[in-house]
């Protein structure tokens, strides 16, 4: 039976992948030990997704395993062996702020954990397609050295710069920049995934995400700006914007659109490719603009303040150029605009508010 292994299966991207691949007829093996709760508290727990999958999806099998446990990972992969045709590795410590609290935890999860999953793939299912969710933080703070122009509600790259039309492409250097410890651990994982493709000839793809988001995102103050912003608006909580006058720009890609990109790569994989993958010029927004959309479309008045102190390694302006991926996979199209994504997320937060504690 065609089998996909998804690490971080109860998280935002993992859960979207579970739903999609199960619908395609795959046996889905989920690996997730709810470390998001450890990172960000009870509200960030993904246990509800796990319970729903086990109750509703007949071909879903869950393993409450830490990806740092090499023997446990090997046991899972050896059990399903050559039936595994795809591995989607989304499990991670995702916050550059949190990484500074426990650098060893951050690195062992992001780098060592990725190595464990890669090596298990090489040993037990070397012909499978390996898809990795990396991050734009592999470029460190290099994007902040672009020629930026301050506008009324956002920062924008100078119109004369090559990145203005489509965004930042993969030619941007990852060297000589401040990455944050999180960025450094993801660089290590990113390069490992590429190397297993180029050195061992495995079918590996690296997706350097901008802001990955959607209604299943369990946003926390330290991770998932749009989801947490909406949560604060719906639940009448104060929100703090860190630095850059609230004009910092992020591109946001809906989790459904990202999985469509994964599916295209799975069908026609390459060896050791890296792609910038975000909302691009199709779907990007500044903090101030996001607040405005929430207030204008849903009627919430957000109680927010702007701190002069920016987060270490945070980007002032980041828009992904997805042109390389589109060249390799011309069928790729965005489904969700930023307004549609925000609308879905507001409804999800409102529904969550109605649920019993």
pLDDT in tens, 207-244: 999 999 998 887 777 677 788 899 999 999 999 999 99
pLDDT over threshold 50, residue 356: no
pLDDT score recorded for residue 357: 39
CB contact set of 348 (below 8 Å; sequence gap of 6+): 215, 216
Burial class (CB within 10 angstroms; exposed 0-12, middle 13-18, buried 19+) of 257: buried
CA angle, 104 then 108 then 110, to 5°: 115
Q: How many whole angstroms separate alpha carbon 313 and alpha carbon 310?
A: 8
Q: Percent of the chain, pLDDT > 70?
A: 98
Instruction: Kindly indicate the confidence band of residue 272, based on its pLDDT and cuts at 50, 70 and 90.
Output: very high
> In the predicted model, is pLDDT for residue 64 greater than 90?
yes
Residue 15 half-sphere exposure toward CB, CA atoms < 13 A: 23
Cβ atoms 252, 284 nearer than 8 A: yes
Is 191's pLDDT higher than 60?
A: yes
Residue 14 clears pLDDT 50, i.e. is over it = yes
**Eight-state DSSP code of residue 309:** P
Q: Which two tokens stand for residue 356?
A: 């019993």
> Residue 311 — pLDDT band, cuts 50, 70, 90?
confident
Q: Where does the pLDDT of residue 352 fall: very low under 50, low under 70, confident under 90, or very high at 90 and above?
A: confident
Q: What is the pLDDT of residues 248-261, one digit of tens each?
A: 999 999 999 999 99
Which residues lie below 8 Å from residue 165, measured CB to CB, with a gap of 6+? Answer: 281
216 vs 334: which has the higher pLDDT: 334
Mean pLDDT calculated for residue range 136-157: 97
Q: Does position 339 have pLDDT exceeding 70, yes or no?
A: yes
pLDDT for 331: 98
Sequence ranges of the domains in the chain: 3-352
Confidence check: pLDDT of 287 > 60: yes
Mean pLDDT of 53-61: 97
Please compute the mean of the pLDDT values over residues 18-44 and round it to a whole number: 96
* Per-residue pLDDT at 223: 72
Extract the tokens encoding 329.
Answer: 């996979």
Q: 296: pLDDT confidence band, cut at 50, 70 and 90? A: very high
Long-range pairs for 70-75: beta carbons < 8 A, 24 or more residues apart: 70/116, 70/119, 70/120, 73/31, 73/116, 73/117, 73/120, 74/120, 74/123, 74/124
Both tokens of 152, joined, read 């009324």
Q: What is the DSSP string of 66-106?
A: -TT-HHHHHHHHHHHGGGEEEEEE------HHHHTT-HHHH
What is the assigned CATH class of domain 3-352?
A: alpha beta
What's the mean pLDDT in 58-69?
98
Q: How confident is the model at residue 353 (pLDDT cuts 50, 70, 90)?
A: low
Q: What is the pLDDT of residue 218?
A: 73
């Amino acid at each position: 039976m065609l089998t996909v292994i998804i690490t971080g299966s109860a998280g935002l991207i993992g859960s979207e992948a579970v739903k999609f691949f199960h619908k395609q007829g795959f046996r889905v093996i989920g690996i997730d030990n709810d470390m998001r709760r450890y990172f960000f508290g009870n509200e960030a727990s993904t246990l509800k997704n796990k319970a729903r999958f086990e109750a509703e999806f007949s071909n879903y099998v869950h393993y409450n395993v830490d990806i740092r446990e090499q023997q446990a990972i090997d046991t899972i992969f050896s059990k399903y062996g050559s039936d595994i045709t795809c591995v989607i590795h989304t499990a991670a410590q995702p916050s550059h702020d949190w990484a500074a609290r426990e650098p060893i935890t951050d690195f062992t999860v992001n780098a060592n954990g990725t190595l464990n999953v890669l090596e298990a793939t090489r040993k037990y299912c070397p012909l499978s397609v390996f898809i990795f969710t990396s991050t734009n933080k592999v470029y460190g703070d290099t994007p902040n050295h672009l020629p930026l122009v301050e506008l009324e509600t956002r920062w924008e790259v100078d119109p004369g710069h090559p990145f203005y039309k489509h965004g930042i492409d993969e030619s941007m250097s990852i060297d000589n920049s401040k990455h944050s410890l999180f960025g450094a651990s993801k660089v290590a994982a990113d390069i490992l995934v590429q190397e297993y493709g180029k050195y061992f000839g495995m079918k590996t793809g690296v997706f350097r995400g901008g802001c990955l988001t959607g209604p299943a995102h369990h946003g926390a103050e330290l991770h998932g700006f749009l989801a947490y912003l909406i949560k604060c608006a719906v639940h009448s909580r104060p929100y703090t914007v860190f630095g850059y006058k609230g004009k910092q720009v992020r591109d946001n890609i809906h989790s459904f659109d990202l999985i469509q990109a994964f599916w295209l790569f799975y069908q026609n994989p390459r060896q050791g490719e890296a792609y910038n993958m975000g909302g691009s010029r199709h779907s990007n927004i500044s903090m101030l603009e996001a607040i405005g959309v929430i207030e204008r479309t849903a009627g919430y008045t957000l109680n927010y303040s702007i701190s002069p102190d920016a987060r270490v390694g945070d980007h002032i302006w980041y828009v992904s150029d997805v042109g390389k991926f589109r060249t390799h996979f011309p069928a790729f199209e965005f489904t969700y605009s930023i307004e549609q994504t925000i609308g879905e997320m507001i409804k999800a937060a409102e529904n969550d508010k109605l649920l019993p504690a």
